[in-house]
Amino acid sequence: MLVEVPSKAVTSPILTIDLHALARNYRHLAQRTGAAPIAMVKADGYGLGATEVCLRLWREGCRRFFVARVDEGIRLREALPEAEIGVLDGAVPGSEAALTAYSLVPVLNSLEQVDRWRRAAAEAEQLLPAALHFDTGMHRLGIPAAEVHHLSQDPGRIAGLDIRHVMSHLACADSDVVALAGKAEAESADEQVPDSRHQGQASPSEQQLEAFLKLRAMFPQGAASLANSAGIFLDPRFRMDLTRPGIALYGGCPWGQLAANPMEAVATLEAPVIQVQDVPAGATVGYGATWQASHPTRLATLPVGYADGYHRSASNQARVWFGNVAAAAPIVGRVSMDLTIVDIGHLPEGAVTPGTTAELMGAQIPVDEVAANAGTIGYELLTGLGLRYQRRYVDGE
Ligand SMILES: *Cc1c(COP(=O)(O)O)cnc(C)c1O
């Protein structure tokens, strides 16, 4: 006999993704930079669903999307037949046929990749699109400055390539935004605050900008881009022709702080309470009994755990929000695989019962707050959201 399995809607927490908020964040960045930014949609659109994210941003006028892996690009191509899709890993060995077949634009990170892609163009007897990624100090990916010099003196090496972008990536844009804001505050208060980190030197971002401008002068073709989300909030020189925001689109604070985030929350994680219980003073909670009630209180259990990407390191640290009484409640004890417990002893009697919805992340509990309480960053939290949630895409009211 077949038994009907309850739908996820009955049993699962809900991850709501507000595509209208995403679109407003995109518009905000486009207005600030004066050009439609490249949308960074790697890791499945920072965990929120690359296809849904890209289709919404396309409607907003976005025509350029970058992913990390070739197969991410292949999957996006179906949804976006006309978009420019860049692949940050570049022309890695064995990727040439797929890059060509799906009209992807590899971000060439080394002379070895340049050579491989030029040979692919020669073999295909067609002009192939490419981006050139210069390393300006992060030493992660990119062609080192000395090699960019060689390349500029050997134009045959990029023959057959249509250079669409010339780019580099900032290592410290977030902390430089914070440092700049601190400096501006000190200056307005007329204080003399020594910049202990840089000792009067140009900031790391300024040094990278200077290095990039020199390399750009050797390769004036295509659009120049340097700024990630945080870079957009440095001074306007960083914006160049195009910018490459990721986290800001998805509602994370570009410089990772809680105060004054200019972006709107996009992802909301909610769960229904599944059990409420009264416990006496001295009762302990969860694995390892890491929390003990100092007085009689009431606890509520939520069906979310680290298997859902709600980090165990948030144990005894993070909080949730009960919208029905507009009040927060702290997580007590350890977050376990499927469950998390909150102390609701301070809330009005009867306010929280099985079925009452708690927000674990969203407009009231910012992603950056949850991340900070779990000892990580919003990027890791979003990209680690599990597959068990019921996902709901909304667009506006
Ligand atoms: C991920 C990434 C970005 C976007 O960074 P955010 O900090 O999320 O805005 C931009 N450029 C490159 C090369 C990246 O890898």
Q: What is the pLDDT of residue 184?
A: 82
Task: Determine the distance separating the centroid of ligand 1 and the alpha carbon of 319, expressed in angstroms.
Answer: 29
Q: What is the pLDDT of residue 285?
A: 98
Atom of ligand 1 nearest to the CA of 228: 9
| Dist CA 129 CA 106 (whole Å) | 8
Q: Known catalytic residue: 214? A: no
Is 252 a pocket residue for ligand 1 (Cβ < 6 Å)?
Answer: no
Is 247 a pocket residue for ligand 1 (Cβ < 6 Å)?
Answer: yes
Q: What is the pLDDT of residue 10?
A: 59
Q: What is the pLDDT of residue 217?
A: 97
> Per-residue confidence of the chain (397 residues) as pLDDT tens digits?
566 666 655 568 999 999 999 999 999 999 999 999 999 999 999 999 999 999 999 999 999 999 999 999 999 999 999 999 999 999 999 999 999 999 999 999 999 999 999 999 999 999 999 999 999 999 999 999 999 999 999 999 999 999 999 999 999 999 999 998 888 888 887 765 555 454 568 999 999 999 999 999 999 999 999 999 999 999 999 999 999 999 999 999 999 887 889 999 999 999 999 999 999 999 999 999 999 999 999 999 999 999 999 999 999 999 999 999 999 999 999 999 999 999 999 999 999 999 999 999 999 999 999 999 999 999 999 999 988 999 999 997 5
- Neighbour tally for 260: CB within 10 Å: 8
Catalytic residue among 42, 250, 306, 310: 42
Task: Determine the distance separating the centroid of ligand 1 and the alpha carbon of 248, expressed in angstroms.
Answer: 10
Ligand 1 pocket test: which of 22, 53, 169, 379 has the largest number of ligand atoms within 8 Å of its C-beta? 169
| Dist CA 298 CA 278 (whole Å) | 4
Q: What is the pLDDT of residue 7?
A: 60
Q: What is the pLDDT of residue 237?
A: 97
Beta 327-330 vs 223-225: how paired, if at all? unpaired
Query: What is the CB-side half-sphere exposure of residue 114 using CA atoms within 13 A?
Result: 22
Task: Determine the distance separating the centroid of ligand 1 and the alpha carbon of 218, expressed in angstroms.
Answer: 24
330-383 pLDDT, tens digit each: 999 999 999 999 999 999 999 999 999 999 999 999 999 999 999 999 999 999
123-160 pLDDT, tens digit each: 999 999 999 999 999 999 999 999 999 999 999 999 99
- Measured between its terminal Cα atoms, the distance across the chain in Å is 43
Atom of ligand 1 nearest to the CA of 174: 7
Which amino acid residue places its CA nearest to atom 6 of ligand 1?
246
List % helix, strand, coil for the chain (3-state, nearest 5).
Answer: 35, 20, 45
Is 228 a pocket residue for ligand 1 (Cβ < 6 Å)?
Answer: yes
Contact of 301 with 347, CB cutoff 8 Å: no
Q: What is the pLDDT of residue 18?
A: 98
Atom of ligand 1 nearest to the CA of 379: 8
| Dist CA 40 CA 370 (whole Å) | 22
Q: Known catalytic residue: 42? A: yes
User: Mean pLDDT over all residues of the chain?
Assistant: 94
Ligand 1 pocket test: which of 33, 38, 40 has the largest number of ligand atoms within 8 Å of its C-beta? 40
Amino acid in the structure at residue 219:
F
